[in-house]
């Protein structure tokens, strides 16, 4: 039954200054989210994507991408079940001929009822679309709430000379467990066997905790909102001790002598992580945890590099395929994926948000939850899906 | 939990004069429904069928078919799990020996407790059964509500010289989406590629809408209740136009010149469609959308033809196998089946009934919803399943 | 949502003096339950078991078995997903290094945050463990409620010279349907074709009902609580009659002439059955219906025999493998298993407890339900799982 609340009200009543975050089980509305890479949608191509619980059609028409709800106004069927595109900028419902224009959502005809008074007076939901850095972004929200894309991506991501490569996959956990896993300074413990260490120019500790001043909030009125955690101001722990004995140590490559001190991690609304100098010095990893529904998210993983020449581009593309994709996005982040998926059951009924037992360094995660609650532009509700 | 209502009360409160129809998610109680073809149940044979959420046993004993709830009174187990029929007109529960007579439902013995005071004093639920035109009909309802079968089938269906052939299959949608798909004059749009057109003696438009007077309600006190839609009084649309261009046209066979004007469609309680002159002139299609549970129905598809002689019967049987079954019941109606199944999710949480956006010709569907609400003899509830 | 009650309150309100039993859908808390055979857990071995809806880790350390909740305090992940046991008596969470001592549950370190104030101040839930007669028993309950194991097993089970052999498997029904199936004197009807009859020294009737005085309650303050049913004081029914004809008779072996008169059956809290002189004279079957969750139980089947010598032990072990396991635990009890599984749906929404129609001999089952309601030491709730 739809009247069952999206989030357990008992739990919502128990959290304090990050209530909005707990309520945002389906994500924050009125933000920009990447849904596909630009190269995945050729001219005239139609795809179905999911976003904050909504099914959308995206289509590229004369170069520009449009997004429309994939559900006919008439009887609620998915237009994509048998897409009838009789003209390049319309789609006609296979069931009774309701015809919509991609650019506006306008009901331009009902083929079998050409004189219906509905024609020209009804619209299907459409959303703004922008392309940047090789990604297709959709603004999932209300017309009067549209903000510039630059306010929903990490600082510098849109820089002109930045080349961005990546991949995406579906992860079976709520999007917030993705964001927290990525931003979490402690979870490096699960990466202690990563093959990526052979390709890095610095070493991993088994943990590190922020010293005062390491964490900084970014809340400028006209800009992205995020929490930055500077690893240079962390205390690293290299050895794990139980009952007085060292039982485990952070992996060190013989080829390198530095530490991870130069890396900074930050998380931004509506759920995107920036890891500087990662997976190696000179690169920056940007990754999105895009809410698909309550229990899955699209993990959009990208690596960016400033490039000056075509030779730079070719070198980066080669390194990406040979090293950073297999050892970073697949290998290193593969551990993150299963960690999120096994965390999901504890939070699925919402009680995890009050039953968890955070420790001191998790304060950075609490900062993120509070900031998201303050600046999220809207909370997607079940009623938004209807 | 069973206290969760069958239909969302918020939705029930929002619909007006067809509230009963929205409530009848499990079907209308106190009506006759076909469950199998007669030839599927030989003498002494036992089958399990489902109807309006209830599991029933049907058995043919000395030619006559009986129907009994497939759930022992004692501990609620299905008798069919291991049917112990020690005499031809009883079934004994495999678990503790509770023994019921098919004709009456009476608990005639408990084999292991032959002196129990329950014996002869308790009854399992049984339902009246009738056979007609090769179908086994069960009256799913209360003893004091039994009406004649003729009031629950389309007019003429029981005519003596009518030969009826058909098939049935399970469709994954609520029964009402079946009934509305069948009766819907507009949905012909999905049949524009049907192979059936090669065997018809008239053509399909892409749509047609009723002119005033086309729709007629039948509500005689002692007779079937239904809505008739006379296609002869429809305006046909042959061409679909978008932005001033014809983009699609109704299929026309070169072999024929007529239109579908002679066809009339009607829908009758408790959910049966009659399509005259279909799949071709001289035949009539009758089809039932029998509620199995909230989200599935048995689609009982039949074609009837008046026959005068054994030669007529053989010809019709041959044509049925060679043409009408493959191109009509399988091909043409196969499109209807997937249409219903992809419509199901929108209505599954009941909000579809208020979120849909009907157009003018859908008035005929509203007539059906209102008529069903007025004349349905009862609404099957979750408590009826206990 | 977790606020949905474990048991339908409408049903709880309808039952009288065995309300506690209806509420104990997840089992009775504060009792001892077998989870594995001792031989299944070698030195240093770690296993995951389920009990009353909780996931537990059990580990054998220097001979002794310990039980701990398999869920990290920090973010709720299962420790077993990737068990990091750096020392023999601790386990470290793979995600962030929270480290617990098996003997006490104490959080002894957080590897990545060695100076956290949580260390030494938090505990994960642990449960007392005892081994007896080759079984590992866990006390699932609160520290201040621990009772001696001897009060939770049938009288005599712990006798020193008793040799116990057995097996276990998961059954897809609530644990109470297991207990009632086992204790139910009438259900012998389903065993009428058992191959076990060829190995028994007495015969099966098709049913038997207790005479006055057959049933005896055992409720001593310091001892197990149970209901005993003495089959010697039963009226046996050998022939099943329908409409005056004998239609089925209890199986009799030509090799034996006695009846089952010497057998007594009893059921004990928290859900364990003792069947004397079964599967044959000289043996006793003990079987547990251990709640795993609402709809499954672990069926722990054992047969005990007093042994005096090594020769006795070898003979019993051989007979167990050759006869009693295949024909008794697998064959005879295999019928019990499917009976429970097909009974489950009727009780799954709790209404079965009020919709069932018991007969006179089922009074012994009602005695059990009332006794369990009086003496169960606690009812496992959904909130206990958090």
CATH of the domain at A85: 2.20.25.10
Q: Count how many domains chain B has.
A: 2
Nearest CA in chain C to B76: C346
Domain residue limits at C302: 147-385
Cβ contacts of B339 on chain A, cutoff 8 Å: 77, 95
Q: Measure in Å the smallest separation between the Cα of C71 and chain A Cα atoms.
A: 9
pLDDT tens by residue, C272-286: 999 999 999 999 999
Cβ contacts of A117 on chain B, cutoff 8 Å: 360
Interface test with B, best of C342, C348, C362 (most B CBs within 10 A): C342
Cβ contacts of A338 on chain C, cutoff 8 Å: 81
A358 vs B: CB within 8 A = no
One domain, residues A356 and A254? yes
One domain, residues B306 and B374? yes
Q: Which of C256, C200, C243, C208 is nearest to C361 (CA)?
A: C208
Out of A242, A339, A360, name the one closest to residue C99 (CB).
Answer: A242
What's the confidence (pLDDT) of residue C1? 42
Query: With an 8 Å Cβ cutoff, are C71 and A360 in contact?
Result: no
CB neighbour list of residue C86: distance below 8 Å, 6 or more residues apart: A240, A242, A247, A248, C92, C99
From residue A241, how far is each of A128, A211, A237, B280, C293 by CA, in Å? 53, 21, 10, 84, 37
CA-derived radius of gyration, chain A: 23
Alpha carbons C209 and C239: distance in angstroms, whole number: 14
What's the confidence (pLDDT) of residue C66? 98
Q: Is residue A1 over pLDDT 60? A: no
What's the confidence (pLDDT) of residue C250? 80
Q: Which of B348, B262, B306 is nearest to B159 (CA)?
A: B306
Residue A331 sits in a domain of what CATH number? 3.90.380.10
Question: Looking at the domain assignment, is residue B2 inside a domain?
Answer: no
Cβ contacts of B87 on chain C, cutoff 8 Å: 242-243, 245, 247
Highest mean pLDDT pick, A255-259, B280-284, C88-92: C88-92
Task: Identify the residue whose tokens are 């030839």.
Answer: B39
**For the residues A164-182, what does the mean pLDDT come to?**
98
One domain, residues B224 and B273? yes
One domain, residues B154 and B234? yes
B86 vs C: CB within 8 A = yes
Query: With an 8 Å Cβ cutoff, are B189 and A97 in contact?
Result: yes
Q: Measure in Å the smallest separation between the Cα of A2 and chain C Cα atoms.
A: 13
What's the confidence (pLDDT) of residue C119? 97
**For the residues A373-377, what does the mean pLDDT come to?**
98
Q: Which residues in chain C (44-73) have CB-CB distances under 8 A to chain A?
A: 71, 73
Instruction: Please tell me the least confidently modeled range out of A78-92, A341-355, C60-74, C228-242.
Output: C228-242
Question: Looking at the domain assignment, is residue A235 inside a domain?
Answer: yes
Nearest CA in chain B to C240: B111
Cβ contacts of C207 on chain B, cutoff 8 Å: 96-97, 111-113
Question: Looking at the domain assignment, is residue C200 inside a domain?
Answer: yes
Query: With an 8 Å Cβ cutoff, are C242 and B99 in contact?
Result: yes
One domain, residues A210 and A93? no
- Could you tell me the mean pLDDT of each successive run of 10 residues in chain B, 386 residues long? 80 95 98 98 98 98 98 98 96 97 98 94 98 98 96 97 97 98 91 80 78 93 95 88 92 55 84 94 96 98 97 97 96 96 97 97 96 98 94
What's the confidence (pLDDT) of residue C202? 63
One domain, residues B67 and B188? no
Cβ contacts of A189 on chain C, cutoff 8 Å: 94-97, 111-112
What's the confidence (pLDDT) of residue B202? 63
One domain, residues B86 and B171? no
What's the confidence (pLDDT) of residue A201? 62
One domain, residues A118 and A155? no
Q: Beta A284-293 vs A296-306: how paired, if at all? A: antiparallel
Q: Is residue C144 over pLDDT 90? A: yes
Question: Looking at the domain assignment, is residue C11 inside a domain?
Answer: no
Cβ contacts of C357 on chain B, cutoff 8 Å: 73-74, 118, 122
Question: Looking at the domain assignment, is residue B8 inside a domain?
Answer: no
Q: Which of the listed residues A68, A95, A130 is the one where a domain comes to its end?
A: A130
C123 vs A: CB within 8 A = no
Nearest CA in chain C to A242: C109
Cβ contacts of A186 on chain C, cutoff 8 Å: 96-97, 112-113
pLDDT tens by residue, A302-347: 999 999 999 999 999 999 999 999 999 999 999 999 999 999 999 9
Question: Looking at the domain assignment, is residue A12 inside a domain?
Answer: no
Confidence of residue C2 (pLDDT cuts 50, 70, 90): very low
Query: What mean pLDDT is reported for chain A?
Result: 93
One domain, residues A124 and A253? no
Sheet holding A129-132: strands in order across? A31-37, A135-140, A129-132
**C270: preceding bond cis by omega (within 30 degrees):** yes
Q: Is residue A368 over pLDDT 80? A: yes
What's the confidence (pLDDT) of residue B262? 56
B209 vs A: CB within 8 A = yes
Alpha carbons C32 and A28: distance in angstroms, whole number: 48
Instruction: Please tell me the least confidently modeled range out of A54-58, A381-385, C8-12, C259-263.
Output: C259-263
Out of B3, B78, B99, name the one closest to residue C8 (CB).
Answer: B3
What's the confidence (pLDDT) of residue A2? 45
Confidence of residue A173 (pLDDT cuts 50, 70, 90): very high
Q: Which of the listed residues A80, A102, A130 is the one where a domain comes to its end?
A: A130
Task: Identify the residue whose tokens are 């003997």.
Answer: C103
Alpha carbons A82 and C9: distance in angstroms, whole number: 47
Question: Looking at the domain assignment, is residue B238 inside a domain?
Answer: yes
One domain, residues C236 and C379? yes
A95 vs B: CB within 8 A = yes
Out of C78, C86, C113, name the one closest to residue A209 (CB).
Answer: C113
**For the residues C189-201, what does the mean pLDDT come to?**
80
Confidence of residue C3 (pLDDT cuts 50, 70, 90): low
What's the confidence (pLDDT) of residue B1? 42
From residue B285, how far is each of A303, B194, B312, B329 by CA, in Å? 62, 17, 18, 9
Instruction: Give the three-class secondary structure for B360.
Output: helix
Angle at A346 between CA C94 and CA C122, to 5 degrees: 60
One domain, residues A177 and A50? no
Question: Looking at the domain assignment, is residue C106 inside a domain?
Answer: yes
Task: For residue A190, report the phi and psi dihedrals to the nearest 5 degrees.
Answer: -80, -10
One domain, residues C160 and C59? no
**What's the ipTM?**
0.93
Out of A188, A237, A343, name the one closest to residue C76 (CB).
Answer: A343
Q: Is residue C205 over pLDDT 90? A: no
Q: Is residue C15 over pLDDT 60? A: yes
């Amino acid at each position: 039954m739809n009247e069952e609340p999206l989030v357990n009200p008992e739990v919502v009543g128990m959290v304090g200054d990050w209530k909005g975050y707990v309520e945002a089980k389906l994500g924050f509305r009125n933000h920009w989210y990447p849904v596909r890479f630009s190269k995945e949608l050729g001219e005239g191509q139609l795809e179905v994507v999911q976003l904050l619980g909504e099914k959308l059609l995206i289509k590229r028409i004369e170069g520009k991408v449009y997004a429309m709800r994939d559900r006919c106004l008439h009887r609620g069927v998915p237009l994509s079940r048998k897409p009838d595109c009789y003209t390049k900028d319309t789609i006609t419902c296979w069931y009774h001929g309701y015809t919509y224009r991609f650019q506006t959502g306008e009901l331009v005809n009902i083929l079998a009822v050409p004189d219906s008074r509905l024609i020209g007076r009804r619209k299907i939901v459409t959303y703004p679309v922008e392309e940047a850095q090789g990604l297709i972004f959709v603004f999932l929200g209300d017309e009067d709430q549209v903000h510039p894309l630059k306010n929903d991506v990490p600082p510098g991501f849109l820089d002109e000379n930045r080349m961005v490569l990546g991949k995406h996959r579906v992860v079976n956990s709520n999007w917030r467990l993705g964001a927290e896993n990525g931003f979490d300074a402690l979870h490096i413990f699960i990466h202690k066997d990563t093959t990526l260490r052979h390709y890095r120019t610095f070493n991993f500790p088994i943990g590190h905790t922020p010293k005062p001043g390491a964490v900084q909030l970014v809340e400028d009125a006209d800009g992205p909102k995020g929490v930055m955690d500077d690893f240079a101001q962390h205390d690293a722990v290299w050895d794990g001790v139980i009952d007085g004995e060292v039982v485990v140590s952070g992996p060190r490559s013989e080829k390198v002598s530095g530490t991870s001190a130069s890396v900074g991690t930050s998380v931004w609304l509506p759920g995107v992580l920036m890891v500087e100098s990662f997976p190696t010095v000179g690169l920056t990893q940007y990754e999105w945890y895009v809410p698909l529904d309550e229990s899955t998210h699209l993990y959009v993983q990208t690596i960016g590099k400033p490039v000056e020449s075509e030779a730079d581009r070719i070198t980066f593309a080669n390194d990406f395929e040979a090293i950073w994709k297999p050892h970073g996005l697949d290998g290193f982040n593969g551990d993150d994926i299963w960690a999120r998926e096994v965390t999901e059951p504890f939070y699925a009924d919402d009680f995890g948000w009050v039953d968890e037992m955070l420790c001191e360094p998790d304060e950075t995660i609490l900062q993120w939850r509070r900031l998201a609650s303050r600046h999220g532009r809207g909370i997607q509700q079940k009623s938004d899906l209807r």
